[in-house]
Structure 1
């Protein structure tokens, strides 16, 4: 029997379970293949004892409607940067990639399918360069991989953000307030942009367009002066003012190397007040609500297509490749191409022009 190992890495995302189910359902149609899952990404292979579980019909029954991942996930460490505590209590990182590849061969795995975002797929490419037969599946609610039109989980995150704005509108109107909603979007403002258009926010601040606080204030006051008496601002967590920086701090968590973003809503509120804005302002950080819960139908369908395609790529020996969605077709691209550039909001895109066309301000 041939064996394929499936793992989910990076942040959790609605639709992960649907991918896993798609892989297993397709593999079960081949008599000579078995599917296994590694718990917490590569940790399941590197931990002792190993945490590898079989994935059969019973294991995947009904999981496509559930959020999260039955295989668990992690944003810390990895085969190239495994945290090790020294005798003095400090932590260092070691490269265990060669050891892991050797273990996978010893355990009899013929292929690996890694479901993850930009960072995970960079790891996938590095492992492929070392000889590991690996396939990538793109996953990120930020929709920030340039080689695919959409990543699963993004539409669910937009739906959550849109519903949050819809609810904030009613409380903002009742109290004549400015409500600032902070959504995820470290370097790309896709969630904020889509949610602002779908729910009619007055202001949308994204990382790609540094904002002028005076312009934001003017837009809010214009809204108040025309008799509306309330406004909703949606801001991506990575948005920043002109001549300013993102609101972030270094993490003290072992193995977590990224900056911890969050809090721009409160910074923006303080800036508005310091600029002379007299409106009553409230802030809300949507946070991990965007990542959780049941995936919308679009994400379930896309994720299932990704899963089936990923296993068929294993059958064809298309290693070093990642599944992609381009021009409404499921296709594949090299892992190198997939991670070469970041998917920022195109400032010349019709989506951005649409937002401006309905009067949304970007603080320019």
Structure 2
């Protein structure tokens, strides 16, 4: 009997359960595979005793429609930079990847499928270099992995953001207000840009195009006459003014990234300081973009990713990440999967089309 270990790492994302189900259902056709899940990414393997469950028909039935992950997840505890606290309370980062690789082998696993984003796939590459037979599955609502045309969870996040934005348009119009809606995306503006186009925003601020507050104010003023009018703004959490910095905070050791957030309120302050006369209200969507039922598109994409990942295991094509390129399901080396960050092309057609629709980027 062959043994496969499945895990989910990083932030949660609509579609994770569909991948898990896809892997399990495809594996059952082979009849000689035992599928297990490590709880909270690799923490389930690293813990003593291990926190690993067997996946079966009962715990995977119907999970494709559910948000979150039945295997839980975490974005701290990177085995390549594992935080260890000494007796004096000092934290140091140590590489525990060899220890993890040895434990995976001692537990008798013939393959590992790691479902996660940029950080998770860097871990996958590190473990592959230690001899772990591993396959990666791309996951992020931010759509910031360049090795695949799209990632599951992104479309659901855009749909949630667009639904919220639609509701803000009517209240902005009723009160003659400027409404600022902050969305996720980290260093990429994909969610903000798609939401702005879908929702008909007047202004969209993204990390790739640092904004000039005077240009933003000019666009707002063009929408008002005698105090009457309204403006709806979508701003990505990683957006920043020209010569400015992103808004975030260091969450301490164990977290790979700054915790971004707060640009909606900062932008509001900047506009008031620049002389904006209109009333301004701010909405931060936050983790609502990660929750709930995945859209049909994301369920399909995630399910097929799961099937493809297991088929790569059967073919022993380890050190690869599943990819959706040019409408085909394929794979790319893990090393290439995280080499280039997928920024919005500021000169690309999507941005130019948005400008053609009258959306201002404040640049």
Question: Shorter-chain TM-score category?
Answer: over 0.9
The equivalent residue for 1:276 is: 275
Partner of 1:306: 305
Correspondences of 1:164-175 after superposition (within 5 Å): 164-175=164-175
What does residue 321 of structure 2 align with?
322
For 1:350 and 1:83, locate their aligned partners in 2 and report how far apart those are by CA, in whole Å: 43
Helix, strand or coil at the partner of 1:102: helix
Counterpart CA distance in 1 for 2:182 and 2:260 is 11
Equivalents in 1 of 2:255, 2:79: separation in Å? Answer: 14
What SS does the aligned partner of 2:115 have? strand
Q: 1:280 to 1:91 in 2, by over 3 A?
A: same
Aligned position for 1:356? 355
1:226 Cα deviation from its structure 2 partner: 9.5
Q: How far apart are 1:97 and its partner, in Å?
A: 1.1
CA drift at 1:257: 3.3
Measured in 2, the distance between the counterparts of 1:281 and 1:67 equals: 33
Please report how far the alpha carbon of residue 222 of structure 1 lies from its aligned counterpart in structure 2 after TM superposition: 0.6
Deviation at 1:96, TM superposition (A): 1.6
- What does 1:66-215 correspond to in 2, within 5 Å? 66-215=66-215
Render the CA deviation track for 1:135-177: whole Å, top value 9, x for unaligned: 0000000000001000000000000110111000011111110
Give TM-score, length-normalised by structure 2: 0.98
Displacement after TM superposition at 1:227 (Å): 8.7
Aligned-residue CA RMSD (Å): 1.1
2:247 and 2:84 map into 1 onto residues whose CA distance is: 30
Specify the SS of the correspondent of 1:112.
strand
Q: Give me the TM-score of the superposition, normalised by structure 1.
A: 0.98
Residue 264 of structure 2 corresponds to 265
Instruction: Count the aligned residue pairs.
Output: 363
* Deviation, structure 1 residue 83: 2.2
Equivalence map 1:339-350=2 (5 Å): 339-350=338-349
Question: What's the offset of the Cα at 1:82?
Answer: 2.1
Shift of 1:93: 2.3
Q: What's the counterpart of residue 26 of structure 1?
A: 26
Alignment partners' CA distance in 2, 1:199 and 1:363? 18
Partner of 2:64: 64
Structure 1 segments of 4 or more deviating over 4 A?
none
User: How many Å separate the matches in 2 of 1:80 and 1:350?
Assistant: 38
Provide structure 2 residue ranges, at least 5 long, that are not aligned to the other structure: none
2:9–2:41 Cα contact (<8 Å) kept: yes
Counterpart-to-counterpart distance in 1, 2:289 and 2:17: 16
- Give the corresponding residue for 2:223: 223
SS at match of 2:233: strand
1:70-110 CA distances to partner (integer Å, 9 max, x unpaired)? 00000001212222221112222222211111111111100
CA distance in 2, matches of 1:198, 1:125: 36
